[in-house]
Amino acid sequence: MKTDCAVAIDGLQVTDVTGQKKKSISNIPPDCTVGELVQELLSELQLPKNDGAGRPLQYQARLDREGRHLNGSETVGDALQPGDSVVLTPNIEAGGGRAI
Amino acid sequence: MATDGWIYALAVYREDGTAVGQYAIDVDWEPARQWARHVAICEGYRDGWHDPARVLPIWHRSGKPVLRGFRVVLGGAGRRAVACDFTSRFFAASARALSSTLVDAGALVSGEVFRYMALAVRDPDGRPPESRLRLVVRDVDEANAPVVREAARADAVAGASRLGEPLAGEIPVIAAPRVLDEIVALTQAAGAVETGGALVGHLFRDASMCEVFVRITAQVPARHTEATTVRLAFTADTWRDIQRDTDARGNGERLVGWWHSHPVADWEGDTPGGSGDDGEAAALRDCFSEHDSALHRTVFPGSHCIALVANRLAANVVKFSVFGWHDAVLRRRGLLVGGGPA
């Protein structure tokens, strides 16, 4: 369902992958992209944007209502409804690299 | 975390003492905030989990701007405050990240030994950065307060055997033996490629000792990974399934760590990224790489969370290494296996 473009999205529930950090987000501009929103949410959930060597970490937002990962280029107004729940999940690698 | 108008920086020197420069650092305070939460849980702190944590400099005896460490304060706004002090060792991760940048910029040579000193200086602006999207953010109560059960630590560790060298003051983590048995079986079945999964269980507090401990009740195999002999990528689908599988168990378990394998037997003579030297393979089999560290920090910043590495040294020989947080720094640590009911 497409939300009215002029209305900000309220009451978005955002959690990290462990479910141990959870925030309610309101006043989300409907014309911003999911990718822009995710970058802002990383700070709010104290999730790192880069790995130990300064390389950017990749995250996806999984929308519970549809059981799918949102595309970073989708707009919030197209993808989200008030009260939706999303989980921020990293694509992250173990192994390799220098020992710490 | 609120830094009260201080900017943190590192002064970098070459081994001979010549200065390379001073560099502002974007400090990842989250492990320190989590360790302060751990101290608060031990002390039976009940409220104020939503109050923003503050970080304050602790000056070196030589005076400002040189740091001996810093203090994290939880609560305090009309509530009981809990303070936790950290040494400047915490900045080692920032120094490692900075060194990569300095090597890229030609200020340091790859492999060069350097020294650093942590500093804090007043931010002339002094205002925290505003949200670009001007979001309104609110904590959700049930998720941010820690889920802790009460139990006697002595009962939980009774009869447990030790795996690895314990770190003084480590948070006791007790794994059910079948968890390790399953990891060994999965590691052997994976053969020449890495495999892994999540560790789930419960966090307990022993009120009589003001201590917490962890009981690992199960491992959840990771699916939808991308694996090679030396790397294992946990994808967004991996985490989705781990969350679903954990919820489906219906025991109220939480993610308390993760594990992954090192197929060392397949590295000998074909060392990943190296010369094929057996000594290098020996070092790699027992290491926790910067990628491992980044994964642990990203998904498992909780002070009680551990990482288990299953080193497959031969077809039927798997040895474990254990890593976890101590004073907000990742260190090698021990694990208890077995024990009594908690």
The answer to whether the beta carbons of residues B224 and B262 sit under 8 Å apart is: no
Which two tokens mark A84?
A: 């939706």
Which of B140, B294, B302 comes nearest A24 by C-beta? B140
pLDDT 10s digits, B242-271: 999 999 999 999 999 999 999 988 886 555
DSSP B111-168: T--EEEEEEEEE-SS-PPPPPTT--EEEE-HHHHS---EE--HHHHHTTPEEESPPPT
| Mean pLDDT confidence for B276-305 | 77
Q: Is pLDDT at B155 greater than 80 in this prediction?
A: yes
What is the pTM assigned to this prediction? 0.88
ipTM for the assembly:
0.84
pLDDT 10s digits, B215-229: 999 999 999 999 998
Please tell me the predicted confidence (pLDDT) of residue B222: 97
What pairs with residue A56 in β-bridges?
A50
Size of interface A-B (CB pairs under 8 A): 174
Tell me if A94 and B234 make a contact (CB, 8 A cut-off).
yes
Tell me if A97 and B290 make a contact (CB, 8 A cut-off).
yes
| Mean pLDDT confidence for B42-53 | 73
Q: Is pLDDT at B130 greater than 70 in this prediction?
A: no
Chain A contact probe: residue of B96, B140, B238, B239 with most A CBs at under 10 A: B239
Q: Which residues of B touch A51 (CB under 8 A)?
A: 290-291, 294
CA angle B273, B278, B284 (to 5 degrees): 55
Please tell me the predicted confidence (pLDDT) of residue B40: 87
Q: Label residue A3 by pLDDT band (50, 70, 90).
A: very low
DSSP B176-195: -HHHHHHHHHHHHHHTTS--
Which of A13, A52, A89 comes nearest B93 by C-beta? A52
**Alpha carbon distance B262, B188 (integer Å):** 10
Please tell me the predicted confidence (pLDDT) of residue B92: 92
Tell me if B233 and A13 make a contact (CB, 8 A cut-off).
no
**Alpha carbon distance B233, B241 (integer Å):** 14
Please tell me the predicted confidence (pLDDT) of residue B276: 43
pLDDT 10s digits, B33-45: 999 988 888 887 7
Please tell me the predicted confidence (pLDDT) of residue B277: 47
Q: Min CA distance, B289 vs chain A (Å)?
A: 4
Which residues make Cβ contacts (< 8 Å) with residue B103, sequence separation at least 6?
Answer: B109, B110, B112
Please tell me the predicted confidence (pLDDT) of residue A95: 76
Q: Min CA distance, A1 vs chain B (Å)?
A: 22
How far, CA to CA in Å, does B314 sit from each of B184, B191, B320? 12, 10, 13
What phi, psi does B34 have (nearest 5°)? Answer: -65, -40
Q: Which residues of A touch B293 (CB under 8 A)?
A: 52, 100
Closest residue, chain B, to A10 (C-alpha): B136
| Mean pLDDT confidence for B162-181 | 94
How many other CB atoms are there within 10 angstroms of residue B320's CB atom? 19
Q: Which residues of A touch B301 (CB under 8 A)?
A: 46
Which two tokens mark B228?
A: 């090679």
* pLDDT-wise least confident of A53-67, B99-113, B274-288: B274-288
Please tell me the predicted confidence (pLDDT) of residue B146: 67
Please tell me the predicted confidence (pLDDT) of residue B275: 43
Closest residue, chain A, to B141 (C-alpha): A22
Tell me if A62 and B240 make a contact (CB, 8 A cut-off).
yes
Closest residue, chain A, to B132 (C-alpha): A40
